Amino acid sequence: MTRVVAQGTFDILHPGHVHYLQDAADMGDELHVIVARSVNVTHKEPPVVPDEQRREMVAALKPVDQAHLGHPEDIFVPIERIEPDIIALGYDQHHDDEQLEAALSARGIDCDIRRASPLEAEAADRLLSTGRIIDRIVDERSE
């Protein structure tokens, strides 16, 4: 059995998230998703939706076998517990593959790192990022 881990913030779910998780699920037999805790999101604006609610929403998605909250101090703790064969990164996630491989190796975690494919917008008004969804809400609701 091939166990895959995907990870992300998953704030305000959108079709890009679903595509990423389906791509990740297709890489193996069992998909575990690690939902980042708000305190660990430092590369972009913090999530709007609370941690546990984001985890619950991800857990409800068809491709997901199990959804976990990330560790508050050490992002590798859940990975060590899950023991994945593959870590599936989103096509545009900020992680440096080589640095991630080195960090995993230093912790004795032996798994492949793969990137999911991008989801092409079929229409100009399709919202494929949480930031674009928030911007649209602010633009349309602030008067």
Binding residues for ATP: 9-10, 14-17, 92
How crowded is residue 96: how many other Cβ atoms within 10 Å of its Cβ? 10
List Cα–Cα distances, 106 to 100, 101, 131, in angstroms. 10, 9, 34
Structure tokens at 122: 């079929």
Structure tokens at 26: 């297709």
As annotated, the binding site includes: 9-10, 14-17, 92
Instruction: Report DSSP state, residue 107.
Output: T
66: nearest Cα among 30, 101, 92:
30
Interatomic CA distance for residues 68 and 70, integer angstroms? 6
For CA atoms 75, 81, 85, 86, give the dihedral sign: negative
